[in-house]
Every structure is written in structure tokens, then in C-alpha cells.
Amino acid sequence: MVKPAGIEWDDHYTATASHVVDRALVSTDVFWNLLGDVRGKSALDLGCGQGDLAVLLARAGARVTAVDRSAGAIDAARRQAAFNGVPGVRFVRADACALGALGRFDLVTGRYILHHIEPFGDFVSLLRRALTPGGRAVFIENSARNPLLMLARRSLVGRFGLPRRSDGTERPLGEDKIALLRREFKRVEVVVPELVLFRLVARYFFPRNIYWAGLFNRLDRMCWRHFPAIHKYGYLQALALFT
């Protein structure tokens, strides 16, 4: 099972909750293209956080169930939906591995949730069974493909004054977990929507410096255009799973 929510997640959502729906938090247009037309479809937003994705899905015409293990997240998501005039979203506080009790859905979505889930193999089977025939699941996730990033994550983050931006239980999504997805689903698409690589240097080493942030963002965009071979080594990936 996913480990219970630590109090830090409740505090995080209480402190950061906003009524402004941020589409950028949900990531790029690649994510929405993989989802397709959601009008009239039942959708499960897994690990809904403060509810940005749930609100956007409901606005697009989906019938949304939003789930998170954190009580603070569910409270923030309810307020987000109410403020933005989105009725009818069903909010449930639950562990991701309890999705078998929530019914079946045409779509299951989530952002930065899969790498928190263990045992992952058990979850993958539950996820497939939670989808209707012809359904799909679409996630935006981090990636474990870059060995240098993984080394920095193990050896630098949380030390030498560098912030740790995780709860200590997560593990970036690597080929081992993608292989488990491929065994359960008829088709799995893995897409790199943009290069998130050099900007991580600015995020961790120069977190309040606009100059360095802009410089490394431009470097990522330049490498995206001119060096497609390194796309797969970025820290961002989108996954579409088809039943």
C-alpha cells in the first residue's frame, strides 16, 4: 500500500492552496492530447492535490472523481472546485491502492503520483481493472532514465544546503515500472513533452535567481530543438496506457 500521508502534506496543501486554477501545473498540451475528448466520460483524478486537474477535467465536460490520501488536499480541492463554480466533482480521501472500491472509469489521470505508489505491481493490476473496455490512463511523471540526475538525487539533494523536494518515499519512474505497465496494458505510449534538465540546476542551486532560471530554461529549449537524442534524459515524461 501507499504509505499514509505525513502531516507535512496536510500542512503543504493548507499553506499553498489557491483558488487560481493553474493549467501549467498540469503540464503541457501533450498531456491533454493524450487524454483526448473527455466530454461525457467518467474520469478519476488520482492524487488530486489541490484540485487543479479535477477542475479542468470537469470544465471540459468529464464526470470527475478526485482522490487523494491527504485530508488537507481534499479540503483544498473542494474549496477550489466551489470557488471556480464546478459542481458535481466527487471528492474521496483514499489511498491509491483502494481505487478498486471506487468503481470503473473511462479515464484515469494523475500528475506526479505513480512514483509514490508501492507495491507498484499490485497497483498496476488494480488500475487496469478500474478502466472500462477501451478506456485509457494518462499520467505526467518524473523519469529515472538519466543516471546523472539519479546520482544527484541520491547524493546531493537534502545535503550541502540543497532542498529536498520530496517526502522521502518516492522513486522516479524507471524502465522497471514501465515494463510492469506494458505487461498489463495492450498499449503503452511514453512521450517526452519537453526537456526538463538543465533548469533543475537553477531550481536547486539558484532557487531565487531569475537570471540563472532564465538562462537554464533557454538552454533546455535550445537542446530540445537541436539535440533530440537527449530528450529521453530529461526529468519529465507523459504516459498513456490503453486497455
pLDDT digits 0-9 by tens, 59-69: 999 999 999 99
Beta strands (DSSP E) in 128-179 are 131-141
State the average pLDDT over residues 11-36.
63
Q: What is the pLDDT of residue 157?
A: 85
Backbone angles phi, psi at 22, to 5 degrees: -105, 100
Question: In the structure, what pLDDT confidence band is assigned to residue 11 with cuts at 50, 70 and 90?
Answer: low
State the average pLDDT over residues 165-176.
82
Domains in the chain: ranges and CATH: 7-146+167-194+231-242 (3.40.50.150)
- Looking at residue 168, its amino acid is G
pLDDT in tens, 106-162: 999 999 999 999 899 999 999 999 999 999 999 999 999 999 999 998 898 888 888
Q: Are 19 and 83 in contact (CB under 8 A)?
A: yes
Q: Which of 4-18, 68-82, 85-99 has the lowest mean pLDDT?
A: 4-18
Nearest-CA neighbor of 242 among 194, 171, 185, 172?
Answer: 185
Strand 105-111 to strand 42-46: parallel, antiparallel, or no bridges (unpaired)? parallel
Nearest-CA neighbor of 198 among 184, 181, 215?
Answer: 215
* pTM score of the predicted model: 0.87
pLDDT in tens, 69-78: 999 999 999 9
- Helix, strand or coil, per DSSP, at residue 107: strand
Other C-beta atoms lying within 10 Å of the C-beta of residue 137? 27
Q: Are 231 and 224 in contact (CB under 8 A)?
A: yes
